[in-house]
Chain A
Amino acid sequence: MALRHALARAARRSFSTGTAAPLNTVVILGSTRAKRIGGMVGAYLETKLVQRGHTVTVLDPRTNHDGFFMQLIEKAHFHYKSDEDAPPALEQTASVLRAADAIVVCTPEFNHTIAPGLTNLMNYFGASVYANKPSGIATYSAGVWGGARCGPTSPSWGVCP
């Protein structure tokens, strides 16, 4: 029993010290304002992940693909049939999400839920894109709860909280 605990501790240490293979992570921003706190929180998350030796791709609805995700799209990525051409921005973003080992969403709290920019970027992709990938949920707000009420809405994409 003691040996098993020691092995488990060693395994935890090997992960936390970055001796395991680097992860391919994606940070998704929810705020779409020009002047925003979300960019700073996202930059902090990116810095921390890079310090741990992981690769980071930031998906920002405001800047990615010339603001493609700043508008509503006719239909979701999973609604395109095999003989139809999905918009390149949808295809490329789906590829980024499929290749990810972990996802971190970074969102402000709007009306006790997540920001519409985050919904607009993530909800056009089916659960299979997010399957078997853990997510970190970073929320922020001006109040004392720090966006705690919008965090529980995020795992509905099928990612682990």
Chain B
Amino acid sequence: MQLSGAWKPGTFGDDGLLKEGAMGARLCDRMLDQLEWHAHAMRNHRELNV
């Protein structure tokens, strides 16, 4: 994921987290979807080859 304009006011909410709905947050969700899929597949692969 890429977070552009990270220093701009309003990028992060009052809780210090990225604002939901922002491009960075949407990209993050998609990145984590792919990461989960690959991580499960690769863990299964590692366990099969032990």
**Chain A residues packing against B (C-beta within 8 Å):** 12, 15-16, 20-21, 23, 25, 37, 40-41, 43-45, 47-49, 52, 54, 101-102, 104, 108, 132-148, 151, 160
A41 touches B18 (CB 8 A): yes
A49 to B24 CA separation, bound complex (whole angstroms): 15
Instruction: Indicate which residue in B3, B16, B38, B46 contacts A140 across the interface (CB closer than 8 Å).
Output: B3
Task: Flag B9-50 by CB within 8 Å of A: 1 or 0 each.
Answer: 000100011100000110011011111111110110110000
Chain B residues within an 8 Å CB radius of A43: 16-17
17 A-B pairs with CB atoms under 8 Å apart are A23-B40, A43-B16, A45-B28, A52-B32, A102-B39, A108-B6, A132-B42, A133-B42, A134-B34, A134-B39, A136-B1, A137-B31, A141-B4, A142-B7, A143-B4, A146-B3, A151-B2
| A15 touching B37 in the complex, CB below 8 Å, given contacts A44-B28, A139-B1 | yes
Q: How large is the interface on B (under 10, 10 to 19, 20 to 34, 35 or more residues)?
A: 20 to 34
Say yes or no: A146-B2 contact (C-beta < 8 A), given A132-B45, A134-B42: yes
Quick one: closest B residue to A41, CB to CB?
B3
Return the 5 tightest CB-CB contacts between A and B, nearest first.
A146-B2, A146-B4, A134-B38, A102-B39, A140-B3
Return B41 CB to nearest CB of chain A, in Å.
8
With a cutoff of 8 Å between Cβ atoms, the chain B residues found around residue A41 in the complex are 3, 6, 18
Q: Are A23 and B37 in contact (CB under 8 A)?
A: no
Contact A138 B31 (CB under 8 A): yes
Query: Contacts of A132 on B, CB cut-off 8 Å?
Result: 42, 45-46
A16, B46: Cβ atoms closer than 8 Å: no
B12 touches A102 (CB 8 A): no
Bound-complex Cα distance A20 to B33 (A): 13
* B32 adjacent to A141 (CB under 8 Å): no
- B3 near A49 (CB under 8 angstroms)? no
Contact residue among A40, A54, A145 (Cβ-Cβ distance under 8 Å from B2): A145
Contact partner, B35, options A20, A102, A151, Cβ 8 Å: A102
Q: How far is the CB of A37 from chain B (nearest CB, A)?
A: 5
